[in-house]
Amino acid sequence: MAVVVGEADHVSIQASWTRRDLLAALGLVLTTGLTATVSEVIFADYGSRSTSSRIDLEAKIERFFWHFDNQEYAKALAMGLTITESYRAGDPAQYCRWLNNIACVSVWDGQFERAHDFLSRACGASVEPSAWWLPIVTSNLAYVRYHLGWRTYDLIHHVEQAVLDLQSTQVPRQAGPWLQLWSRMSPTGVAAPNTLVPPFAVLTRLYSREGRYREAFESGEKDIEIQGEAAQGMRIILGLIARPAYRERAAFEYVEEVDQIYSPSSSSAHMMALRDVIIADLKGTAPTDEYSFSGQVGSIKSVYYSWTTFADLKYLLAASNSRHLRNEFGRRVLESYEESEHSGLESVQRIRRLLGA
């Protein structure tokens, strides 16, 4: 059977068709007796490879979230970098989505500065200044800058707007999760899968840094209202800022609701230890040693927690009437880190200087 070559093939061969593509197509036609133009065979081969590539990418994405759900952040980051590169020359929104996602994983792996770079690139890569997802990236960026101790005052307005934007009914349903550093899950029984949680928790931190404790407390209460039992960390934060916000009674009730069964296994032990210290401070009694902060140091997120602890001590407990709680909390955490392999971390050194230890 003769090989049929179309008119277009006599004129030119597209530059993207390499010599190897052409030879492979001709070989397929000659060996199988297939009646087709060279271009049809090449396009069919490209389609097959495209399908295979898409299936491979979907498998990598599934693997990324499997590692993420199992708190294997280093493995998730390695997989996420490959996925992000796949989208570099493709869909801009997906490229920014994955820059955002690997930034979040970098944070939970304790790599805050690397996360800042990814998020900055996502902001710069946006081709639509009004893209619906920019509030997510902006709020994640504010969260990272806060914990690094960098300037955040000029981001408060943007995060306030992000709260409004992400509560809007105009926000589309996401094709895939956009990770949020202020929330790892959707409100149980309230939101559908992939529903975004407004960044009230980020606002609470930014307000506290500026000494706006009453506003910070109100923002935290809104976060608890939305996330319910999942907002365990926010209950702790409200306990830390209770005195300067003059909301001791309400904070006491929130902190009493902190429970191991609602906290991730990587943080449950030190969450309970901090709960004990806060309740003792609000009651004016000495905390017990029933729970140890060694759980924080032994956690797979120990480096991350050292940075968040530094920020909590420096910003949430900056008020003069919070100094006793700062010293009690800081001393116990520092002692735990000093006895571990993490004693030389920059964040631990900052805690040491902050406490004058």
Average of pLDDT values for 44-60?
69
CA–centroid distance for 93 within its chain: 17
- For the chain, the C-alpha Rg in angstroms (whole number) is 26
pLDDT value at 196 more than 50 = yes
Q: Which tokens in the block code for residue 259?
A: 């429970």
The helix/strand/coil state of 301 is coil
pLDDT for residue 51: 62
Distances in whole angstroms, Cα of residue 237 to Cα of each of 191, 210, 241, 355? 24, 15, 6, 19
pLDDT value at 274 more than 60 = yes
Q: What are phi and psi of 180, to 5 degrees?
A: -125, 130
**Per-residue model confidence as pLDDT tens digits over 141-182:** 999 999 999 999 999 999 999 999 988 777 777 778 899 999
Contact 14, 37 (CB under 8 A): no
The owner of tokens 């893209």 is 131
pLDDT value at 191 more than 80 = no
pLDDT for residue 287: 84
Q: How many angstroms separate the CA atoms of 261 and 314, rounded?
A: 29
pLDDT value at 48 more than 90 = no
pLDDT for residue 50: 52
Average of pLDDT values for 285-309?
88
pLDDT value at 188 more than 50 = no
Predicted TM-score of the model (pTM): 0.82
Q: Using pLDDT thresholds of 50, 70 and 90, give the confidence band for residue 52.
A: low
**Per-residue model confidence as pLDDT tens digits over 26-39:** 444 444 444 455 45
Q: How many angstroms separate the CA atoms of 220 and 203, rounded?
A: 8
Strand partners, 180: 183
